[in-house]
């Protein structure tokens, strides 16, 4: 019940970001643009259904159509709208992640925790522990270090006696990982030992105890995989370098394949609302003529076919890409190759042959 209330409150707050559209003039361009942006926001919320740390970002995107129109009509109102939008997105973040209760720990939602003296963020997900924002706070998802439960040997809260530095490896797109460092000031810290990496993360004692409780609850029953990682296994899991599998290309492909469905929905909406301006923009009339009905059937067929293509191509490629990226976040580079050892040469036969040659010379 608590999780349902949190999610409902967050969705309500995100919907408030679109309320500004009610004060905008009725114009087909505004209606179509707003509907397109809100459709993308709805897809993003569905895609990150359990990663509620992404919901504040989608909340800000929901306000983009109104902000863009206000920029041309009332620039002074933009400042107030930006501040209000940021406040609403922060409210979404607090509703979905704070306070950290037993119900939240027992769920599969991502729980973020701040670090002591750093701008990095430690997140407890359903299947792993993640340290992100190593590249930038604006691109949290790209500088990520992960320790899956299957690779977690131990985690404990310790007291660091003196300032030190922790070095972590990040996947670089090749076989040699990039090294990043961050300071660990004296005080409480989490020492995480995994099969592939060891981390020392500065936290407050309160945060450390919450992280330990969340990790204990979510990793219960998961056995540690002690099978050594091989170069062949790592190469099979490495993300594909093909440009067609980049996040930007996949997102663009999804948008293109959803255009017929979007046009179909907007045509139906224009008929239900009897919006004459929107109908003229879409090239339909009310009531529908025979030609309009035929076009509607054709668009419906295209929408069904394109959605099938979306599921069979773009969605599967996106899931594969995410799986490969999750692997290299935990194992950023292949294991070092074993040095080639040449077999030892037995000197006895050589000596014997030399003696035989000397006998022949005699």
The predicted pLDDT at position 141 comes to 66
Let me know if residue 143 belongs to a domain.
yes
- Same domain for 134 and 55: no
Please state, in angstroms and rounded to a whole number, the distance separating the CA atoms of residues 192 and 129.
10
- Same domain for 257 and 213: no
Let me know if residue 51 belongs to a domain.
yes
The predicted pLDDT at position 131 comes to 93
Let me know if residue 339 belongs to a domain.
no
Last residue of a domain, one of 98, 129, 148: 98
The predicted pLDDT at position 25 comes to 62
Please state, in angstroms and rounded to a whole number, the distance separating the CA atoms of residues 245 and 12.
34
Let me know if residue 354 belongs to a domain.
no
* Residues listed for the chain: 362
Please state, in angstroms and rounded to a whole number, the distance separating the CA atoms of residues 54 and 82.
18
- Same domain for 149 and 84: no
What is the span of the domain harbouring residue 119? 103-227
CB-based contacts of 165, cutoff 8 Å, min separation 6:
181, 182, 183, 184
Let me know if residue 351 belongs to a domain.
no
- Same domain for 254 and 223: no
Let me know if residue 317 belongs to a domain.
yes
- Same domain for 288 and 182: no
- Same domain for 84 and 15: yes
Let me know if residue 238 belongs to a domain.
no
- Same domain for 201 and 284: no
Let me know if residue 342 belongs to a domain.
no
Q: How many domains does the chain have?
A: 3
Greatest Cα-to-Cα distance within the chain, rounded to the nearest angstrom = 118
Sign of the torsion formed by the C-alpha atoms of 318, 322, 328 and 329:
positive
Of 159, 160, 219, nearest to 194 by C-alpha is: 219
Tens-binned pLDDT, residue by residue, of the chain (362 aa) = 899 999 999 999 998 877 766 666 666 666 777 788 888 898 889 989 989 899 999 998 888 877 777 766 666 777 877 888 889 999 999 999 999 999 999 999 999 999 999 989 999 999 999 998 887 666 666 778 999 999 999 999 999 999 999 999 888 877 888 888 999 999 999 999 998 889 999 999 999 999 999 999 999 989 988 888 777 777 777 766 554 556 667 777 888 888 888 888 888 888 777 777 777 777 777 777 888 788 888 989 988 998 888 888 788 888 887 888 888 888 888 877 665 555 454 444 433 333 444 444 44
């Amino acid at each position: 019940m608590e999780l349902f209330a949190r999610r409902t409150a967050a969705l309500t707050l995100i919907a408030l970001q679109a309320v500004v559209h009610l004060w905008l003039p009725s114009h087909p361009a505004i209606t179509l643009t707003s509907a397109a942006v809100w459709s993308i926001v709805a897809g993003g919320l569905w895609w990150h259904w359990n990663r509620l740390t992404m919901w504040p970002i989608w909340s800000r995107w929901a306000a983009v159509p109104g902000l863009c129109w206000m920029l041309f009509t009332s620039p002074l109102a933009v400042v107030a709208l930006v501040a209000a939008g940021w406040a609403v997105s922060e409210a979404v973040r607090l509703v979905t992640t704070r306070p950290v209760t037993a119900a939240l720990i027992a769920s599969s939602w991502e729980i973020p925790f701040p670090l002591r003296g750093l701008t990095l963020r430690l997140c407890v997900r359903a299947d792993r522990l993640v340290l992100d924002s190593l590249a930038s706070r604006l691109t949290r998802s790209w500088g990520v270090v992960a320790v899956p439960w299957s690779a977690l040997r131990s985690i404990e809260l310790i007291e660091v006696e003196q300032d030190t530095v922790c070095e972590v490896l990040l996947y670089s797109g090749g076989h040699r990982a990039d090294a990043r460092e961050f300071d660990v000031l004296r005080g409480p810290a989490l020492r995480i030992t995994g099969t592939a990496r060891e981390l020392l993360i500065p936290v407050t004692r309160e945060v450390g105890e919450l992280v330990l409780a969340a990790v204990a609850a979510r990793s219960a029953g998961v056995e540690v995989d002690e099978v050594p990682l091989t170069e062949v296994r790592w190469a099979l899991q490495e993300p594909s370098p093909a440009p067609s599998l980049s996040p930007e290309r996949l997102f663009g492909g999804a948008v293109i394949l959803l255009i017929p469905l979007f046009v179909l929905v907007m045509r139906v909406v224009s008929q239900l609302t009897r919006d004459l301006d929107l109908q003229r923009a879409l090239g339909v009339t009310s009531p529908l003529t025979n030609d309009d009905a035929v076009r509607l059937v054709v668009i419906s067929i295209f929408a069904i076919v394109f959605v099938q293509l979306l599921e069979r191509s773009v969605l599967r490629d996106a899931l594969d890409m995410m799986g490969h990226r999750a692997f290299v976040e935990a194992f950023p580079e292949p294991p070092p190759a074993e040095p080639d050892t040449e077999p030892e040469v037995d000197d006895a036969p050589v000596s014997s042959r030399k003696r035989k040659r000397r006998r022949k010379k005699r």
